[in-house]
Amino acid sequence: MPIVTIQVTREGTSPGVDAVTADEKARLIAGASQLMLDVLKKPHESTFVVIEEVQLENWGWGGLPVGDYRKKLSGKSD
């Protein structure tokens, strides 16, 4: 029984959207389940998919909190 965990940021896919939509989550679940069927021959009924949404302040990139790293990349400061 496969358990697939997908971690996504809570930024959403459009400006001003602060979460992944229910439709996007449903599509992720369907896609991950299909991948398990195609690659491992595991039926959809035996595949569990967990989606974890990570708050912006809870992850880092390049040795910095991601917000700070993005500011550094853009050349902006507070």
CATH code (residue 24): 3.30.429.10
Look at the chain and report how many structural domains it folds into: 1
Is 2 among the residues known to form the active site?
yes
**CB atoms inside a 10 Å sphere around CB 33:** 20
- Res 34: pLDDT: 98
State the residue range of the domain holding 44.
3-74
Determine the average pLDDT of the residues in 35-47: 98
Mean pLDDT for the chain overall: 90
- Res 27: pLDDT: 98
Active-site entry in 2, 15, 43, 65: 2
**Residue 67's pLDDT band (boundaries 50, 70, 90)?**
confident
37 exposure class (CB count in 10 Å sphere: 0-12, 13-18, 19+): middle
pTM of the model: 0.78
